[in-house]
Structure 1
Amino acid sequence: MSFDIQGKLYESFEEQQVSDKFRKREFVLEIPDGSYTQYVKFQLTQDKCSLLDQYKAGDEVKVTFNLTGKPFVKNGTTMYFTNLQAWRIESASNQFGAPAGAPAQAEAAPSFYSSDADNDLPF
């Protein structure tokens, strides 16, 4: 199951080579939430690490991610690890440069009524 969220790119970290076959890159999204701002860390892995290259701090982006979690045992106590695994990042502005979610200019709705007095409609 995937989710998306929009926010401002707050910070991005360098790519880390965790093992011979695994690399990751993390970044933080600033998300307004009423009176408080949330700072949420996401992770990109493997070939997705480069998705962040075209963005800089302050850019408004939309992130699509999977929510994953795993249990692990440490000193006899079960703990849980949660990860926000990003797999798509795109600019949050639409093709016209307006931020996504901004109200679009309403177009005039087509009118089915005519002001012609000799209209042949039965009503």
Structure 2
Amino acid sequence: MDLQGKIIAAMPERSGVSARSGQEWKVQSFVLETHDAYPKKMVFDVFGSDRLTRFNIQVGQEVMVSFDIDAHEYQGRWFNSIRAYDVRLVDPASIGVAGVQPATQTSVISDTPPAADPFPPQQSATEGSADDLPF
């Protein structure tokens, strides 16, 4: 899934050592806010020091985040996990453009008569309609 928005917060980086493999891991969480009429916020994680270095996410950047959603159970409760696998910078000037052109009003003066009404008025049942439908 993809979501575009502005990074409004970056949580401190967390790290540890895997109990299974003994390998060190790093993860950092970021908060993205969309530009919808009613903006939404999403917290997502970037897992791995290589991705953290490659993405180099900074507060205030406009980004497109590609992410996976998964859930896991812990002591009878379920928790969502939103993990980014790609983060791309977006040009801030493109916000709101997204393929929608603004409506423009134009005044057209023409010598041609208006086209015939594509939906002529309905005949009532008393006017001798050929079908027996009630509408």
| TM-score (normalizing by structure 1) | 0.64
Gaps of 5+ in 2: 18-22, 102-135
Matched, 1:14 2:12: yes
> Which runs of structure 2 are paired with 1:21-40 in the superposition (5 Å)?
21-34=24-37, 36-40=38-42
Name the Cα RMSD after superposition: 2.4
Identical-pair percentage: 24
- CA–CA separation in structure 2 for the residues paired with 1:33 and 1:80: 28
Indicate if the aligned counterparts of 1:11 and 1:57 stay in contact, CA closer than 8 A. yes
How far has the Cα of 1:104 moved from its partner?
Answer: 8.2
**For 1:42, which of 40, 44, 50 is the aligned residue?**
44
The match for 1:59 is 61
Indicate if the aligned counterparts of 2:27 and 2:45 stay in contact, CA closer than 8 A. yes
- More relative contact order in 1 or in 2 (CA 8 Å, sep 6+)? 1
- The count of corresponding residues between Structure 1 and Structure 2 is 94
Q: Which has the larger radius of gyration?
A: 2
- CA–CA separation in structure 2 for the residues paired with 1:104 and 1:29: 23
1:86 to 1:5, Cα distance in 2 relative to 1, 3 A: same
TM-superposition CA deviations, 1:2-57 (whole Å, max 9, x none): x00000110112321132522101100012343x322211001112222442x432
Gaps of 5+ in 1: 106-123
Indicate if the aligned counterparts of 1:18 and 1:24 stay in contact, CA closer than 8 A. no
Structure with bigger strand share is 1
The match for 2:127 is none
Point out 4+ residue stretches in structure 1 off by more than 4 angstroms: none
How far has the Cα of 1:88 moved from its partner?
Answer: 0.8
Matched, 1:92 2:90: yes
